[in-house]
Structure 1
């Protein structure tokens, strides 16, 4: 069956993911090292909590101010948050070339990034028919519920979908549900795989 919807992961596929850029900038703003910032955000479980959608942008901002001593504005924090993502122009061109198929981002990320995306990374947000974030879905990959909820939101069945991710565990989870899944290793390889998959 010809696919109807192509799902793309954000960090590691549509964008090159550089978490250290975020950690360094936030650490500098708060007067701590990037390593200390990583411990506070990741080891403590805050990032997972936020990716699950348990806190809004305003609540994330308040936590960063109270726990980390951040004194910038919410808009400034959003800009810092987005520094971890470097759009890959070759992948974005592939997304453009998929029309009239529908496309969607399917990513584990928080409300802070979701709210910032249209202005901070307009070349990304404008490319997709839907932005499906774990903070909206209430679950993170590779939980199969991520995929079933995404399919329901896009109104398609597993055999009508393609999923692209850089992590093998996420690709395997999608395949278990009957979704055609591609592990991303570069724009050139992805283009060839999509050409083969979508050939008439």
Structure 2
């Protein structure tokens, strides 16, 4: 099988990440998960190009007011939540290596704000093309989004590799003949690219000898439960949360909260994805242990 001549990548969760919403929701008195719930429920028109990014965010503000937040606090919450995010550095290094062998393009469910974000992050210079759902008029996981993207890129499905952290999107891409791989973390992205001949060596994805479960140790129960929900939604198991008193600690007030993880989304041992979990732990000022 020949190597793909086009690598089509999702943006968020593959090349870009955002800090958790929890601290913002705490600051503005919102239940955890509110911002994601409201924003995703209202995003459809903006990601299909029928509304602007600002109109979408205005709708989010209005919904927060409808749910009991004052107009001023709703505006403050949405302003704090409106972030550019950050580049996932190790994934970007892979993209740079792949571009020596084939074209790389982004296919993102995004609003008309996307070009500004990419420019601010410097990602507009790191890929050969950007295809936004707002410009296509249809969003993933609709198969039509992939058909239109390939028409824009003037490329065939059979010569395309698509990587996305959402398995629903990769399943949809396969229906139009694209080789699509669910890549929820760096090791799975590296493996997808390496196995298809897009990388020139086997730069590591962590210790090959590791095979056991891991514990994500966080200091706050709400943080642990939020992380567990995020991991469970991505396909990690078992994502059990329990209290843990560190060795030598006599005071239960000093206990940490532990998320137990045995397997990753690709059914490999959690320990093979240790780097990803350490990044997640760092977002919550926690750590990972065996």
Q: What is the TM-score with the length of structure 2 in the denominator?
A: 0.55
Q: Is the 8 A contact 1:24 1:33 kept in 2?
A: no
Cα 1:80/1:116, change in 2 over 3 Å: farther
Residue deviations 1:20-78 (CA, integer Å, cap 9, x gap) = 43x754885xx552645445433xx3122222221123434554666664668xxx95x
Cα 1:115/1:194, change in 2 over 3 Å: closer
Q: CA deviation at 1:177?
A: 1.4
In structure 2, the residue matched to 1:125 is 124
- Asked which structure has the greater RCO (Cα within 8 Å, sep 6+), the reply is 1
Q: Which runs of 4+ in 1 moved over 3 A?
A: 23-28, 34-40, 57-72
Q: Which has the larger radius of gyration?
A: 2
Residue deviations 1:62-117 (CA, integer Å, cap 9, x gap) = 54666664668xxx95x84235x3321111000000124111111112123x1431
Q: Is the 8 A contact 2:10 2:164 kept in 1?
A: yes
In structure 1, the residue matched to 2:30 is 33
Within 5 Å, which residues of 2 pair with 1:100-115? 100=100, 101-112=102-113, 114-115=114-115
| Residue aligned with 1:140, SS | coil
| Residue aligned with 2:82, SS | helix
Return the match for 1:47 from 40, 43, 46. Answer: 43
Corresponding residue pairs, total:
187
Cα 1:118/1:71, change in 2 over 3 Å: same
Residue deviations 1:106-159 (CA, integer Å, cap 9, x gap) = 1112123x143134322x332111121211111111110011011111111101
Name the CA distance, whole Å, in 2 between partners of 1:27 and 1:136.
Answer: 35
Task: Point out where structure 2 has 5 or more consecutive residues left out of the alignment.
Answer: 65-70, 201-290
Higher helix share: 1
In structure 1, the residue matched to 2:208 is none
In structure 1, the residue matched to 2:172 is 173
Q: Is the 8 A contact 1:5 1:154 kept in 2?
A: no
Task: Point out where structure 1 has 5 or more consecutive residues left out of the alignment.
Answer: none
Cα 1:109/1:82, change in 2 over 3 Å: same
Name the CA distance, whole Å, in 1 between partners of 2:26 and 2:50.
Answer: 23
Name the CA distance, whole Å, in 2 between partners of 1:118 and 1:27.
Answer: 29
Name the CA distance, whole Å, in 1 between partners of 2:196 and 2:92.
Answer: 18
